[in-house]
Amino acid sequence: MSISDSTQPNRRVLIASANPLFARGLQKMVAERWAERRVDVRISANMEDAIAVLEEWQPDLLIVDYDDVGQPGSIQRGEFLNRFIAGNRPMQVMLVSLRASGEVVVYDRRTLTPSQAEDWLDLPWMPAAETADSNTQDQSARLASGPNRADFETPKIQRSGSMKHYVIAGILTVIVTVLSYLLLISIGLLPEAAAVQAGPVDRMVNLQLWMIAFLFSLITVFIGYSIVVFRQRRGEVVDGTYFKGSTGLEVIWTIFPLAAVIGLSFLGAQALGEVRQVDTSAMTINVTAFQWGWIYEYPDYGVQSNILYMPINRQARLLLTSRDVIHSFWVPEFRVKQDALPGENLVKELRITPNKLGEYQVMCAELCGGAHAYMNTPVRVVTQEEFDAWLNEQSNAAALPPEERGQRAANASGCLACHSLDGAQMSGPTWLGLSGSEIQLQDGSTVTADDEYLYAAIVDPNQQIHAGFAPIMPQTYQDTLSEEQIQDIIAFINSLE
Ligand code: CUA
């Protein structure tokens, strides 16, 4: 250190104090402290000399006797401070008070604005008597009166009782938290809960709403409170107290979020465990999603449907897959949601125990193409008796006339997600009056919708595109419908005159 220092000019330190003991004591301290450095020290006992030395000698560090104030000819810390602020040479100012048990304040121009430098005079260890006295003066007049006036050194308004502010802001935070929470739950973010699995989900959502309300309040209350209570009042031209770093605050804002995250992951894992709880007597339902509909197969009963029937209070084990792209099975009242992925190895399980009778909607919660928004089909939560009756009716389907079987097949295969039965135009042409009609094709030709045409349109839909419609019909029906089902569906279309 001393080697590199030797190439540089000596450090210059000016000690400004009218008290010889103070000055010599500091000089000794400086010499001991920087024994390895080359330091030149000068002492000025009065203002005139100090200013002259300051200007001509240009010290790196100025040590000012903070207590030496008021007597004629003595050291004026305000004057030094003023010069320090106005100058642009690198220099540090150190204020040392013996009265306040050796308190030291170091000023560095880089980290300081003029108004902060004024604040610096408002040191916390100022004797109370001086503070009270100076507060009675008009502050703006005091500031305008110039740095040499004795009142320059007087402290500014002290907003004491910071504990009081914390208590008030804390109470306001609690009140605003409760109000925000009540507002959030009054919006009705969630529909009624209709499954056992909704319990843990709602519990977590509720906790999250509390946290949202609290964090919102914490931020807005403290900002609002500060804006109102600590606003700049008439005649105030100074900045707030400057401080850098707060270990206590940093510890708090590290530990609390850490604890919150750990706590939330624990609660989240617990909720997930509850949602996935396995009931060994669960009824399996194979769910196949496709563009754009759902097929539900009950393997234990040999029944297939496009409407999901679930007996109440019995866990259903849904095994989800997709015939084409990624879909997502979601019934908001049941809360839980699961993607349906294409591929035999990617069958996903979802457990739902409905506990409220009624009809809800299955929705697709994954953008999956043109009719994604219409991929809604009913789900009916029924009593066990109703469920049995429905199963019975489904298994007797073979005895029905072909057009009725066709209607069921069309339902179960999702045809009716795109083709209406009442003349309304959806993504595909309506089936009402389709049979035997003349169809305008995209290439300008026309064709009669006879059985042959209908068959071709089902198994190879892109061969002849109906004018005005996009070629979006899945080309998978040849594989997924049996020959008999195709004939039944044609019979059904023919019956819609
Ligand atoms: Cu299927 Cu969106």
| β-pair type (61-65, 92-96) | parallel
| Nearest ligand 1 atom, CA 364 | 2
| Nearest ligand 1 atom, CA 291 | 1
366 lines ligand 1 (CB under 6 A): yes
Mean local confidence (pLDDT), 193-200 = 92
Q: Give 232's pLDDT tier (boundaries 50, 70, 90).
A: confident
Q: Which of 85-94, 447-456, 471-480 has the highest mean pLDDT?
A: 447-456
Q: Ligand 1 center to residue 295 CA distance, Å?
A: 13
Mean local confidence (pLDDT), 462-480 = 82
| Nearest ligand 1 atom, CA 373 | 2
Mean local confidence (pLDDT), 59-77 = 75
Out of 138-152, 216-230, 281-295, 315-329, which region has the weakest mean confidence (pLDDT)? 138-152
149 lines ligand 1 (CB under 6 A): no
Q: Ligand 1 center to residue 372 CA distance, Å?
A: 4
| Nearest ligand 1 atom, CA 340 | 1
In angstroms, rounded to a whole number, what is the distance separating the alpha carbons of residues 133 and 219? Answer: 37
| Nearest ligand 1 atom, CA 366 | 2
Q: Give 69's pLDDT tier (boundaries 50, 70, 90).
A: low
327 lines ligand 1 (CB under 6 A): yes
Q: Cβ–Cβ contacts within 10 Å for residue 395, how many?
A: 13
372 lines ligand 1 (CB under 6 A): yes
Q: Ligand 1 center to residue 331 CA distance, Å?
A: 13
In angstroms, rounded to a whole number, what is the distance separating the alpha carbons of residues 103 and 170? Answer: 33
375 lines ligand 1 (CB under 6 A): yes
Q: Ligand 1 center to residue 416 CA distance, Å?
A: 15
The helix or strand, by DSSP H or E, that contains position 204, with its residue range, turns out to be helix 198-229
Q: Cβ–Cβ contacts within 10 Å for residue 368, how many?
A: 21
What is the pLDDT, as a whole number, of residue 238? Answer: 67
Out of 181-185, 306-310, 401-405, 477-481, which region has the weakest mean confidence (pLDDT)? 477-481
The label of the residue with tokens 């999250």 reads 208
The 3-state DSSP class for residue 283 equals strand
What is the pLDDT, as a whole number, of residue 337? Answer: 93
| Residue among 277, 274, 292, 246 nearest 428 (CA) | 292
The 3-state DSSP class for residue 5 equals helix
pLDDT at 228 over 60: yes
Q: Ligand 1 center to residue 465 CA distance, Å?
A: 23
Q: Ligand 1 center to residue 374 CA distance, Å?
A: 8
What count of Cα atoms within 13 Å lies in the side-chain half-sphere of residue 8? 13
What is the pLDDT, as a whole number, of residue 380? Answer: 94
Q: Cβ–Cβ contacts within 10 Å for residue 324, how many?
A: 15
Mean local confidence (pLDDT), 94-119 = 60
Q: Ligand 1 center to residue 15 CA distance, Å?
A: 80
pLDDT at 317 over 70: yes
CA distance readout (Å), 391 to 259, 354, 388, 401: 52, 18, 5, 18
Q: Which of 149-153, 158-162, 332-336 has the highest mean pLDDT?
A: 332-336
Q: Ligand 1 center to residue 391 CA distance, Å?
A: 27
364 lines ligand 1 (CB under 6 A): yes
Instruction: Establish whether the linkage from the previous residue to 292 is cis, with ω within 30° of 0.
Output: yes
Q: Mean pLDDT over all residues of the chain?
A: 80
pLDDT exceeding 70 applies to what percent of the chain?
Answer: 81
> Higher model confidence: residue 91 or residue 183?
183
368 lines ligand 1 (CB under 6 A): yes
Q: Give 403's pLDDT tier (boundaries 50, 70, 90).
A: confident
| Nearest ligand 1 atom, CA 365 | 2
| Nearest ligand 1 atom, CA 325 | 1
Out of 288-297, 330-339, 393-402, 438-447, which region has the weakest mean confidence (pLDDT)? 393-402
| Nearest ligand 1 atom, CA 375 | 1
What is the pLDDT, as a whole number, of residue 132? Answer: 36
What is the pLDDT, as a whole number, of residue 127? Answer: 35
pLDDT digits (tens, 9 = 90+) for 174-191: 999 999 999 999 998 889
Take atom 1 of ligand 1 and give the residue whose Cα is closest.
327
pLDDT digits (tens, 9 = 90+) for 259-279: 999 999 999 999 999 999 998
Q: Give 427's pLDDT tier (boundaries 50, 70, 90).
A: confident
Q: Ligand 1 center to residue 294 CA distance, Å?
A: 10
pLDDT at 244 over 50: yes
